[in-house]
Structure 1
């Protein structure tokens, strides 16, 4: 089994758009939950001042991330007027195609950086739903 990919992105919320961002987050999370059964975790967070949004996702493999980017691409555009992407950090071994798509996403949402962090040591106990016994 491939190692999971841990995805974290951070964005600044545009002034006065917090309510719209929260609505868009709920809509996107519901869509992803209904259409991406392999995704292990998908959570949005907003900091206490309501100025920064963070998304945390755990994909079982690079194919899951690529599927997410393909399926969700049109829906990500809804955030373009609401946020300015600051950064995408990906922990694991994504495919070159996934990294290229992430760079396109970051550019579309404000030009944030994309950084890939290679695993060096550790372990995980996360399992895709179809592998839980």
Structure 2
């Protein structure tokens, strides 16, 4: 059974930059929403202590997520001022080799990536 492609990335917030990250997010979300019509969900949450944020993305398939990675690569909206970088990635669904390579280029080599490839069931509204 094929399910949605779900991507979760944990990112470390730069010291003293949580408020700046909070202010940055609405423009970033708008940018993604305008350029990625197939994305089902795109959310950012902060950790309780404010040292990390997580992006949760829900895509109908891997093509949609590959498009997202291309949109991010072409973006001039930088998160480098507020986020130190990705500390872990979780993928629900089977990523293509192109996705894994783009993630390595964008997030960096050595970032732990957990893949749960098989969808047993569920629903998305």
User: 1:78 aligns to what SS in structure 2?
Assistant: coil
- 1 CA distance for matches of 2:2 and 2:71? 21
- Residues 1:26 and 1:12: Cα distance change in structure 2 (over 3 Å): same
Give the aligned length.
Answer: 124
Give the TM-score of the pair, scaled to structure 2: 0.86
- Residues 1:70 and 1:99: Cα distance change in structure 2 (over 3 Å): same
Is it true that 1:71 corresponds to 2:71 in the alignment?
A: yes
Name the structure with the higher helix share.
Answer: 1
Judge conservation of contact 1:5–1:90 (CA < 8 Å) in 2: yes
State the Cα deviation string for residues 72-112 of structure 1 (Å, max 9, x = none): 2243871223222101111101211011111112119xx63
User: Can you give the 5+ residue segments of structure 2 that lack an aligned partner in the other structure?
Assistant: none
Give the TM-score of the pair, scaled to structure 1: 0.82
User: Can you give the 5+ residue segments of structure 1 that lack an aligned partner in the other structure?
Assistant: 128-133
Judge conservation of contact 2:88–2:111 (CA < 8 Å) in 1: yes
Question: Following TM superposition, where does structure 1 have runs of at least 4 consecutive aligned residues deviating by more than 4 angstroms?
Answer: none
1:31 corresponds to: 31
Judge conservation of contact 1:28–1:75 (CA < 8 Å) in 2: no
2:90 corresponds to: 89
State the Cα deviation string for residues 44-77 of structure 1 (Å, max 9, x = none): 0012221110110011001000000001224387
Is it true that 1:104 corresponds to 2:100 in the alignment?
A: no
